[in-house]
Structure 1
Amino acid sequence: MSSLPVRGAARPLPGGSRTSRASRFAVVVCFLVALIDGYDTLMLSFVAPLVSREWGMPPGAFGKVFAMSFAGAVVGAVAVGAAADRFGRRRLLLGSIAVAGGFILLSAGASSPEQLMAWRFLSGIGLGGAIPTISALAAEHAHPERRSATVSRMFLGFPIGAVAGGAITAALMQQVGWRGIFVGGGTLALALLPLVFAMSEPGHEPANDPARGSASPSPVRHPLAEVVADGRAVGTAMIATAAFMILLVSYFLLSWTPSVLAMNGMSPQRSALAGVMLNVGGVAGAFAMSFVVARRSPFGPVAICLALGALLVPLFGLHVVDSVVGREMGGELVAFCLVFAIGLLVIGGQMNIPALCVHYYPASVRATGVGLSMSIGRVGSIVGPLVGGMLMSAQLSWSRLFMLAAIPALVAAAALGWVARSRPADRSGG
């Protein structure tokens, strides 16, 4: 008696229109959740000057609010990711969005920096926990041969939400104030609850999952123990190292590239576009890479992109910042082209972190795997701007500064290259 191979999918393969529609609906909802997370991240950056001015906060003091948001996201990614694998992903996603939306709304009524930090920490737990959960849900609703590609495209909601949400916030914050911006963000998050409730949640079939390498049952373990079981400990360490390094260099570039260009003769208005170009390049890179990872393991392609991006970063410092900007005809065009290319390769690689984890881990612990890597990556996103500030204070030459900035990308490429070489026969996660 023959049957279609499910290869880790917990529902029939798309063939029935009802299943196909339900799967597409679930992926779209996951995309919308990522969109809200991206919007919330950049929303805080836009309202920071208004909040600081109202409360008379000294320059730099708002950094504690950013830090608490990131810290909450780290806690949420690990704790909710593991809980989702044990108690149900849709259920935990509902809870995460309710917590995020509720505390974003409470942020609108904050009366002191300390209260705002508390609400942002708690809303960060909700949004941080949503990311590994939607990654696992999108993977389970995808066709087994397009799993990594589906997660990559779903996660494009984050940068799109950041760019679009930033534009909306910039247009409205003078009319509604920073409190109105928080009200809007919380309302949008809570509006997703009925959509998440309407999603179907496929169950697990761990015995058939290709990432286990065997069709035989395995003993029940805690999700955090499962991610390092069956020979995955070194691979997990390599993925975590890569996530930390990728987000470190990504947030270094996003934080300091506009400032460096402005210091070297580019107008403040045009240098601010550099951050936009990095994000636009990242979206384009992640989207283009989704077609590649649809046909093979994502580790090799992402490692190659990071290695190429690492070569462009010092080139930017050597030829653009030191000698091109403001000094040669077409210098700004060259600068923007290099910035776009770096975003394409480095930021685009960063956006594939959830797809890497979805490919690597069994269905039963995908949310835990994504949560662990993303939480460690979030630490890198905090360290990156701080390291950049220290290097800027050391008054290094621009060429040396960007040469040092390329090292984390090379380390990440090497780590993912190791995983790719250690799993040469694996073609299952696409």
Structure 2
Amino acid sequence: MSSLPLAGASRPPRALPYASRFSIVVCFLIALIDGYDTLMLSFVAPLISREWGMPPGAFGKVFAVSFAGAVVGALTVGAAADRFGRRRLLLASILVAGGFILLSATSASPEQLMLWRFLSGIGLGGAIPTISALAAEHAHPDQRSATVSRMFLGFPIGAVAGGAITAALMQSVGWRGIFIGGGTLALALLPLVFAISESGRTSTTAADASPAHARRPLAELVAEGRGPGTVLIATAAFMILLVSYFLLSWTPSVLAMNGMSPQRSALAGVMLNVGGVAGAFAMSFVVARRSPFGPVALCLALGAALVPFFGFHIVGSEVAAFCLVFAIGLLVIGGQMNIPALCVHYYPASVRATGVGLSMSVGRIGSIVGPLVGGLLVGAKLPWGQLFLLAAIPAFIAAAALGWIAYRKPRG
């Protein structure tokens, strides 16, 4: 594998054709809907639990089932998209997601809601690797990682903006109205998805002239010496989503346990997401000029170093705590949002959706494990310094895995 050219050696890329820009915007909107749907459920959970008389904590099964659906969708739909065509699989994913989000509004029991959420999770989970591959196809060859990183910003933006909209409307329209709105928004994207093209045809290099569809997508992930890298990327995805969702789930609670008001501690969770958006956006300019593995590994390593530092300084100035939370979000959450860009850079065009799907499905498992492990550690009443020191370990492992790829990849 040849080394990357110097940043100043190439001319600035020409403006993308309108069709390519349109396709990337549609992919961004789908990521936004996925982020909105993820946070929407957490906002309406108290209303549903109250209506059905569910005990505290029982709604966790609904969250887990939604994530499980996303795991199945990311792996199966990602591979199918590389085999049978990305646009048609994306159309099917959005149709499934929107339809079952709408059906969630008709749920009469927790079991019914869990079924609809599992199926809608398959749809949205399958959309993410597909839009990552499509955005890469429509980007300039030397801007693929940066384009995918910026496109994927739709997820946290949708989570924050959608959460605010849901909080404002759920008392007036109820939780069923919220699901109807989410499903309608998803289905409204179908005409836009139908209008995009399968490929942007911006590739000019021989490496990007590979077949549009792979006959055996999963096998090709480990072909031509890509096996170790595939294992390392999957390991990094699992570890970084584990620590990310631990932080997102437990940072507000830990701050509240240490005397911060519930309103201020909830704001800490928002700061983590805001830092993540800022970090991913800043990182997109770095990965536009070089391989993303080294910069993302460094970002995660610095964030991992700050996590235990936060644990030893929970009790103290609120301003200092918020600055640390923002910095951790900038480095850890911001690094996590670059996982699709890593896969787009590492895998050939024919299996990009499969590569993203595998990493995201393994990462989703980490997002389920993280909060559960966090609950066990908090319940064990470990000192906060020790708790966050343990939480930093997965981030260091993720940084080491990606750093090893960055070190070995040029040697090909």
TM-score (normalised: structure 2): 0.94
Aligned pairs for 1:309-348 (under 5 A) are: 309-318=303-312, 320-321=313-314, 323-324=315-316, 331-348=317-334
C-alpha distance in structure 2 between counterparts of 1:227 and 1:204, whole Å: 23
Is this contact kept in 1: 2:145–2:287, CA < 8 A?
A: yes
Is this contact kept in 2: 1:204–1:363, CA < 8 A?
A: no
Q: Which of residues 94, 97, 111 is equivalent to 1:97?
A: 94
1:359 and 2:345 matched: yes
**Structure-2 change in CA distance of 1:221 and 1:208 (3 Å):** farther
C-alpha distance in structure 1 between counterparts of 2:272 and 2:235, whole Å: 22
Is this contact kept in 2: 1:205–1:364, CA < 8 A?
A: no
Q: Which of residues 123, 133, 137 is equivalent to 2:134?
A: 137
C-alpha distance in structure 1 between counterparts of 2:380 and 2:225, whole Å: 43
What's the CA shift for 1:119?
0.2
Q: Which of residues 151, 156, 164 is equivalent to 2:153?
A: 156
Deviations 1:141-183 (A, max 9, x none): 0000100000000000000000000000000000000000000
C-alpha distance in structure 1 between counterparts of 2:187 and 2:172, whole Å: 23
C-alpha distance in structure 1 between counterparts of 2:238 and 2:30, whole Å: 23
What's the CA shift for 1:362?
0.4
Match of 2:356 in 1: 370
Match of 2:259 in 1: 265
Aligned pairs for 1:241-256 (under 5 A) are: 241-256=235-250
Q: Which of residues 172, 193, 197 is equivalent to 1:196?
A: 193
Match of 1:387 in 2: 373
Secondary structure (helix, strand or coil) at the match of 1:230 reads: helix
**Structure-2 change in CA distance of 1:216 and 1:123 (3 Å):** closer
Match of 1:108 in 2: 105
Match of 1:170 in 2: 167
**Matched AA of 1:78:** L
1:34 and 2:31 matched: yes
**Matched AA of 1:338:** L
What's the CA shift for 1:208?
5.4
Is this contact kept in 1: 2:137–2:202, CA < 8 A?
A: no
Aligned pairs for 1:33-72 (under 5 A) are: 33-72=30-69
Match of 1:300 in 2: 294
What's the CA shift for 1:50?
0.4
Match of 2:401 in 1: 415
C-alpha distance in structure 2 between counterparts of 1:78 and 1:312, whole Å: 33
Deviations 1:235-274 (A, max 9, x none): 0000000000000000000000000001111111000001
**Structure-2 change in CA distance of 1:37 and 1:294 (3 Å):** same
Aligned pairs for 1:271-290 (under 5 A) are: 271-290=265-284
What's the CA shift for 1:205?
11
Aligned pair count?
A: 401
Identity of aligned residues (%): 82
C-alpha distance in structure 2 between counterparts of 1:166 and 1:209, whole Å: 44
Is this contact kept in 2: 1:243–1:374, CA < 8 A?
A: yes
**Structure-2 change in CA distance of 1:199 and 1:206 (3 Å):** closer
Match of 2:217 in 1: 223
**Structure-2 change in CA distance of 1:400 and 1:14 (3 Å):** closer
Deviations 1:320-364 (A, max 9, x none): 21x41xxxxxx0000000000000000000000000000000000
Match of 2:392 in 1: 406
Is this contact kept in 1: 2:237–2:336, CA < 8 A?
A: yes
C-alpha distance in structure 2 between counterparts of 1:425 and 1:415, whole Å: 16
Q: Which structure 1 residue ranges, 5 or more long, are not aligned? A: 1-12, 325-330
1:78 and 2:72 matched: no
Q: CA RMSD in A?
A: 2.0
Is this contact kept in 1: 2:272–2:333, CA < 8 A?
A: yes
C-alpha distance in structure 1 between counterparts of 2:111 and 2:232, whole Å: 37
Is this contact kept in 2: 1:14–1:20, CA < 8 A?
A: no
Which 4+ runs in 1 deviate beyond 6 A? 203-207
What's the CA shift for 1:230?
0.6
Match of 1:183 in 2: 180
Secondary structure (helix, strand or coil) at the match of 1:423 reads: helix
**Structure-2 change in CA distance of 1:422 and 1:106 (3 Å):** same
TM-score (normalised: structure 1): 0.90
What's the CA shift for 1:210?
3.3
C-alpha distance in structure 1 between counterparts of 2:361 and 2:404, whole Å: 21
C-alpha distance in structure 2 between counterparts of 1:220 and 1:43, whole Å: 36
Is this contact kept in 1: 2:141–2:203, CA < 8 A?
A: no
C-alpha distance in structure 2 between counterparts of 1:21 and 1:333, whole Å: 45
